[in-house]
Amino acid sequence: MTSIAGDLLPTRADLDAATARTAAVLADPAATRAQREHAAETEQAVHLLYLQRPGADAELQAEAELEAGP
């Protein structure tokens, strides 16, 4: 059962979208410093909120271990 508070927290899809937005802004040579900082700060906020979801930290850790390889 998901709590109402859990429903208000960002999902993994939200985190992935925030990460993609940050990457796009950082790759854009026309982006201003303020735009880059805003994208990074927004991604960080989404990440911190996402980590409040039950099991989120373990999910991200397992994914990082898979990406790191043996």
- With beta carbons less than 8 A apart as the criterion, state whether 51 and 15 touch: no
Q: What is the DSSP letter of 12?
A: H
Which residue in 43, 49, 47 sits closest to 26, CA to CA?
43
Whole-model pTM: value is: 0.80
DSSP assignment of 28-41, as one string?
-TT--HHHHHHHHH
The angle formed by the CA atoms of residues 39, 44 and 48, to the nearest 5 degrees, is: 150
Q: What are phi and psi of 3, to 5 degrees?
A: -80, 160
Which residue range(s) make up the domain with 30? 4-68
Q: For the segment 11-61, what is each residue's pLDDT rounded down to a tens digit? A: 999 999 999 999 999 999 999 999 999 999 999 999 999 999 999 999 999
Q: How many domains does the chain have?
A: 1
User: Which amino acid appears at position 37 of this protein?
Assistant: E
Confidence of residue 8 (pLDDT cuts 50, 70, 90): confident
